[in-house]
Amino acid sequence: MQAEQFTRVARTYMDTVYRVALNYMKSPDAADDITQEVFLRLLRSQTEFASEEHIRHWLIRVTINECKRDLASRWRRVEPLEAYAEKLSFSSEENSETYRSVMRLPRKYRMVIYLHYYEGYSTAEIAQLLGSKQSTVCTQLERGRKLLKNMLSEANDDEN
């Protein structure tokens, strides 16, 4: 990959790669490390990309694989989500609570919700990215929505 093409791709997709890694790892430091590793792999890659969508898909797939690899490492370090959530600013308290609730979901639900609602992928595309069946993704999306709805309802009940 040529330097100017790499720079353009990095500027375009750096935030996407970071957000996917953050959603998977729940740690900003780990997400930074994963993002660096993904773009190093892109720089070294000999892959010929057919389109922008191909680049985006490749980056997300590599990000997920790097997250899995990092989680399997016995040297993995974890920063509590609450410590990071305090650093973020949201446009409203409702957005803040929604973010915290999504991040408390089990990974399998959190990832499909993130990829579907924030990255705009269809269930078929998510299945391909995660290496699972489309029916599994649909089930995880449905269950994740129910869990999220329950979490948000309980939070509203506690406030009232």
CATH topology of domain 89-160: Arc Repressor Mutant, subunit A (1.10.10)
pTM value surpassing 0.85? no
Neighbours of 54 (CB within 10 A): 12
One pLDDT digit (tens) per residue for the chain, 160 residues: 688 889 999 999 999 999 999 999 888 989 999 999 999 999 988 888 999 999 999 999 999 999 999 888 756 555 555 555 555 666 666 767 777 787 888 888 988 998 888 788 999 999 998 889 999 999 999 999 999 888 888 877 766 6
Q: Domain locations in the chain?
A: 1-87, 89-160
Contact between 20 and 120 under an 8 Å Cβ cutoff? The reply is no
Topology of the domain comprising 1-87: Rna Polymerase Sigma Factor; Chain: A (1.10.1740)
- Single out the residue of 137, 72, 14, 121 nearest to residue 22, CA to CA: 14
